[in-house]
Amino acid sequence: MDFNLTTTDAERKFRFELGVFLDQELTTEICRQHSMDLGLGKEAREFALKLGKTGWLGRGWPERYGGSGGTVIDEYILVQEFARREAFVPNIVARFMCGPVMLRHGSEDMKSEFLPRIAGGEIEFSLGYTEPSSGSDLASMRMRAVDDGDSFVISGQKTFNTQSHFADYHWLAVRTDPDAPRHRGISLFVVDQRATGITISPIDTLGGERTNEVFYDEVRVPKTRLVGELNKGFYYMAEALGYERLMLFQSIRLVPSLNRIIAHTKVTSRGGDLLCNNPYVRRHLAQMATEIKVAQAMEDRAFALLKNGKPLDHEASLLKLFGSAMRQRFADHALDILGPTGRLENNASGDPLGGEIAKLAKMVVIDTIGGGTSEILKTVVATRGMGLPR
């Protein structure tokens, strides 16, 4: 299979022009204004609008919905070039999870209303999947939507809805048929995140990011905000999760951090010798670099399948399973290399890399949980990829 993904002149041109734009427009402040760090701020919103005007945020989408044409490889280039610069694509939940599902399953009115605004960088979405008693087992969710004429009335609670405090809309999964088999009674809705009856309460996490509990108290949602068919929401979520696992974490994001660690070992001594000469440190660095390359090869293979018109089955789960554990191992290796000072945070005296490794070590704890726990993904790989019995 051909893993050389950027093969056409148009793709090469897009990568070059996007890179020039990002090098000119991205600032440290914008790079930090995402859900896992500072949250969305004024600078990031202005940047999203500027990117939207280029048409590149909608790259890969039909022009009639605010896109600029292109292929799935253009979408890969988009996330890769942001990751290369340690930044995230704006409104990433809307762009790579909600938008593609709308594009395939939404009504014409819904696509016309939301897709151009997503591609224009105008609106943000928050995922509303997890409940206190329903995490990786999404089919067990209990939050209810009751049919009431031209609307549904929704009551219940979601948890770990990370972007809800700044998102414009909630991509909400709820149970619409309590008597149907678990997977067949769930529907998806687009809900105004500031609708009457919604209460958002913060949850502070180990990694320093804010996530939220979201409470619905008889919130009325028009039937026009139903995504696709009634009671098909679970299948739409499963479809979107595969794409999420491809788009949210690119291994190339770790390369700048690895380069800073390598540079640190070349100027820092321990026991009378430079760290870069220590065999133990060199083994750590080699392992980190190797695993990044392995993850990149797995990403390329997954996108090569899509490029060649083949569906993804267990490949996205395999990539997320390896990549999330790899990020945790990367942080562990880095802490071992830096020694006790690597645990220092927030530019404390003696902190070798501005606290980035201590912060990374806390942030990556969630990686093997969010987007599907490793335990669930191992089962998917075993049954679908290896043909083992359930």
- pLDDT exceeds 60 at position 308: yes
| Measured distance CA(251)–CA(273) in Å, rounded | 31
Burial class (CB in 10 A: 0-12, 13-18, 19+), 231: middle
Determine the CATH number of domain 9-90: 1.10.540.10
244 as an active site residue: the answer is: yes
The CA-atom distances, in angstroms, between 337 and each of 233, 261, 264 are 46, 8, 10
Residues of the chain with CATH 2.40.110.10: 127-231
Residues of the chain with CATH 1.10.540.10: 9-90
| Catalytic site residue from 81, 124, 209, 244 | 244
Dihedral Cα 381, 300, 76, 291, nearest 10 deg:
80
pLDDT band at 6 (very low <50, low <70, confident <90, very high): low
What would be the CATH architecture of the domain defined by 249-385? Up-down Bundle (1.20)
- 211 Cβ contact partners less than 8 Å away, ≥ 6 residues apart: 160, 161, 162, 202, 203, 205
State the chain's mean pLDDT as an integer: 88
Q: Where are the alpha helices (DSSP H) in 248-314?
A: 255-267, 279-307
To the nearest whole percent, how much of the chain has pLDDT over 70? 95
Dihedral over Cα of 3, 4, 7, 11: its sign = positive
Locus of tokens 């591609």? 119
To the nearest whole percent, how much of the chain has pLDDT over 90? 45
| Measured distance CA(196)–CA(183) in Å, rounded | 29
Dihedral Cα 224, 181, 162, 166, nearest 10 deg:
10
Q: Which CATH number fits domain 127-231: 3.30.930.10, 3.30.70.141, 1.10.10.60, 2.40.110.10?
A: 2.40.110.10
Q: What pLDDT does residue 247 have?
A: 72
Tens digit of pLDDT for each residue in 86-124? 988 888 888 888 998 999 999 999 999 999 999 999 999
pTM: 0.85
pLDDT band at 311 (very low <50, low <70, confident <90, very high): low
Which tokens sit at 174? 């709820």
Tens digit of pLDDT for each residue in 137-189? 777 889 999 999 899 999 999 999 888 998 999 999 999 998 888 888 999 99
Can you name the residues that pair with 189 across neighbouring β-strands? 172, 226
| Measured distance CA(92)–CA(248) in Å, rounded | 8
The answer to whether the CB of 195 falls within 8 A of the CB of 138 is no
Which tokens sit at 279? 């065999």
Tens digit of pLDDT for each residue in 37-86? 777 788 989 999 999 999 898 888 888 888 887 777 888 888 889 999 99
Q: Do strands 198-204 and 210-222 pair parallel, antiparallel, or not at all (unpaired)?
A: antiparallel
